[in-house]
Chain A
């Protein structure tokens, strides 16, 4: 750092004069000695500080010692009485950002200035001190800061308020004590003081929704003079509206205030209000109209900033409410020729979103002229907009596809080209008519494509879509050209694509084979290997025969093995008589830190620890269970519970259980994880004691062959029960296994193991396990449809509860049913609540429940439970559930 890098920018300028040309750090630091002169020359000192600031501003940095030295000599300048010099002193202290020890030296000088009669001193000393101070000093100066906030000089007040905003990040507890003074400053007549005070006040109260709401209520009625403060108030108002938007009854609170702001005299405020209205959640077109009207006026403003702001906001609105923006279409169209290309791009993409089908052709003509003179980043935006337009108006694909293929041929960077290719691919997928022409456009593109990534992607896509077209043979020429002309990566993927055509289109097979055989002489290994593989698997000697289904699946089917697992298994495979078996590769998507020698012996198991979403897991559970022969005849899976933990967190072995309910059976899936790196567990089983679950009879167990460190595995136990009966009971469990020591450095396990057991916690099968969460969209209709035939009503006392909310969620969990129409949410301090639940009980019986809760002063909760279902017994069962 000590070495000085010359920053003189002016040296090659002919006669250009700069007061700083040839300036050098070393020399300036020398000059800084004037700060120590007994007789201070203020003007000279100011000049030197300016030079120091110049160096810092140009990106020069001082070493620690240099900075300290400068800082110390600068502190001497507090003796000078020159305001201009003092200002420069303040500035350089802030730039040097002194450390804590150094701060102490200037503290007293700055505190003196904070109490000076000169306003400029007070304001700046506050800003400097608050910037460099730490929390300890703050308590000492707090008194002065509070005074300063209500200072009659607006500059001083603003300085204190802004410093407060910064200090709130580091010392919130202190700043929060200034609330009263800040409140007073909000009423200030000075515009910026009001703005700063409002900003600070809101940040102090940020976490107190009620207080913010009160603040907004009082200020929206009063007079906030400063436009900036008014903008803040609009933001806070939107925040309050957002948080209170639970009750969708009648008029939106504060909407009138926002609408009133549309008539404010400051454009800044009008725009802020218009934007706030467009961003209201669930905004209606009636609410939107006045905001759109003012934004439309902005579109024809002479100021680019106004046009930009308006068109950007309207562009966003067009995504959700295209109809509301169509009124601005004429103004938008004139903006296509706007000097400012950002505005023009936004106008075009807005038009693409709002335009109707008949206008597409005209619009595309305009865009074609426009594309040539905008940058790639804007072009990508336009391409994306055209893709959505094409999906919206599929009949117009010819025009739009033509446009895309034209711009694909023109110059452009990778990101731009990729956006176009992606768009064409999407259109081909979604619009069948566009397929042939789209594929040909892509073929032409790869004839002259400089991006390997795009070429391989397109070749892959051609391999999937090409054979399905009416005349696949016309693509072959393009593909084979790649084999002749391109780099090895593209050649290899072209070989794969050719093979796909060969496998899928039997009539082409002999010709494809000729081409593939030529590839056997390629000078790249990968290309040759691929050609050999395909020639040998697809159809032997090239005669016209059906390619085996298994081969197709193997070569072109989706590959769902985790690649890392395959790699590990391949590495562990020792060449022997026994061929490598792909199905022996574990499918868990988890990294295996220790190589597992016996991977080949392991059966493929399903997904590991169950993911969060219940609906998405249901499918995978069912697949998993049906894949196990012992369980395959159990029929359809009715419900799988959420995992129940059977071990404490951070124990040696982590086990949880998932209860799978079938019509006549129940299967417990134990997900086990071994958390000890030095152990390998084998033959893992669970001993289940069902003595407290009399209605169940153990049917089968499926042990886990091996459980290495940190790789979850599953073992299953199946029980039989009576058909359709919601049998309940308690199960206690013991984990039994053979433990083998593992050498963590090599990952090898010892030959001999010891049998061991591990006590797990017990769990219950409860009635809620037989209840499927199925919502209904209209509860009242569903309720009426079920009729009163099997309605059962009763009242229960739930005893004292922490809150009504807690009681409601406890009952919902007990029943395991789906809350409807958002009735699971209990309003803050209400004293009664009605909750609607729906579900399907085992045996496919539809059940609806209406719960009415009430709470008294002693927090005693009472509940009325009304059940309707398709079966009397089920209605009774629900009541029994609650009664117990």
Chain B
């Protein structure tokens, strides 16, 4: 998918990363071919993690220029969240995506935002990424709406009672 870098095009997201406090993947999603192989993706994650590790991105989202990309990031407990966009992207539009991402994760993990909880609810993390960005296009930026869409666990009509359950611990 050719995502044009031109400014009159839509804001495009290049990737969303959810890493743990050692820089390991919890859940990641890439939307461009800029990092074609898994090795290239890992290298990007490692370097952006190392570059941002010493900064304080807990109260406010932080921002850094990295390899001709703008990367916004925020740390919650031992989770590191990243949103990458092109060089020319409106930084505040990217910030709204990061905001939605971190709010949704917080809501979905019911306040216990840490690596273990995220792994235990990994299905929700994957769904969460899926609800924020679709192939680079921003889908939703409101954290509670994202979380709401992920957490609809009601059973559709006509399902037998035996299949119904509410909480699905892994």
Contacts and interface: CB of A to CB of B under 8 A. Distances in A.
Given A169-B2, A231-B90, A239-B8, A268 B137 contact: no
Nearest to A94: B130
B90 A268 contact: yes
A309 interface: yes
B156 A309 contact: no
Interface in A418-460: none
Contact of B92 (A43, A236, A306): A306
A271 B170 contact: no
Nearest to B22: A9
Contacts of A131: 135
Contacts of B27: 57
Nearest to A301: B60
Interface string B80-107: 0000000000111101100000000000
Contacts of B41: 59
A46 interface: yes
Nearest to A170: B1
B163 A82 contact: yes
Contacts of A296: none
Contact of B119 (A19, A158, A231): A19
B61 A303 contact: yes
Interface string B143-170: 0000001001111111110010100101
B53 interface: no
A166 B137 contact: yes
B104 to A, nearest CB: 14
Contact of A339 (B55, B90, B122, B138): B55
Interface string A293-317: 0000000001111101100100000
Contacts of A16: 116
A120 B127 CA distance: 12
A94 B153 CA distance: 20
A155 B95 CA distance: 22
Interface stretch (A47-55, A177-185, A321-329): A47-55
Contacts of B72: 305
Contact of A120 (B8, B11, B63, B152): B152
B15 interface: no
A81 B91 CA distance: 42
B93 A228 contact: yes
Contacts of A43: 165, 168
A46 B123 contact: yes
B137 A121 contact: no
B5 interface: no
B127 A17 contact: no
A275 B122 CA distance: 39
A267 B92 contact: yes
Nearest to A267: B92
A207 B95 CA distance: 31
A50 B170 contact: yes
A interface SS class? helix
A82 B127 contact: no
A83 B155 contact: yes
Nearest to B41: A59
A231 B93 contact: yes
B126 A165 contact: no
Contacts of B25: 57-58
A20 interface: yes
Contacts of A581: none
Contacts of A80: 163
A87 B149 CA distance: 10
Contacts of B159: 81-82
Contacts of A169: 1-2
Nearest to A310: B91
Contacts of A117: 157
Contact of B123 (A17, A88, A267): A88
A301 B116 CA distance: 35
Contacts of B95: 268, 303, 305
Contacts of B7: 235, 238
A46 B134 contact: no
A707 interface: no
Contact of A53 (B38, B62, B126): B126
Most buried by A among B72, B92, B160: B92
Interface in B59-77: 60-65, 72
A434 to B, nearest CB: 32
B170 A235 contact: no
Contacts of B24: 9
A54 B118 CA distance: 12
A158 to B, nearest CB: 6
A232 interface: yes
A309 B85 CA distance: 13
Nearest to B51: A375
A302 B60 contact: yes
A493 to B, nearest CB: 35
Contacts of B168: 43, 46, 84
A741 to B, nearest CB: 50
A272 B91 CA distance: 9
A281 to B, nearest CB: 14
A165 B28 contact: no
B1 A118 contact: no
Nearest to A212: B8
Given A118-B156, A305-B63, A271 B163 contact: no
A162 interface: yes
A268 B93 contact: yes
Interface string A261-282: 0000001100110010000000
Given A46-B123, A91-B130, A18 B116 contact: yes
A192 B132 CA distance: 11
B168 to A, nearest CB: 6
Interface in B1-54: 1-2, 7-8, 10-11, 24-25, 27-28, 38, 41-42
A844 B7 CA distance: 49
13 contacts: A46-B123, A50-B122, A53-B122, A57-B126, A83-B152, A88-B127, A118-B157, A169-B2, A268-B95, A272-B92, A303-B60, A308-B63, A309-B63
Given A53-B122, A131-B135, A228-B96, 9 more contacts: A50-B122, A53-B126, A57-B126, A81-B159, A82-B155, A166-B137, A196-B137, A275-B90, A305-B63
Interface of B: 1-2, 7-8, 10-11, 24-25, 27-28, 38, 41-42, 55-56, 60-65, 72, 90-93, 95-96, 116, 119-120, 122-123, 126-127, 130, 134-135, 137-141, 149, 152-160, 163, 165, 168, 170
Q: Can you list the 7 inter-chain pairs with the closest CB atoms, starting with the nearest?
A: A81-B159, A59-B38, A268-B92, A309-B91, A50-B123, A239-B8, A308-B63
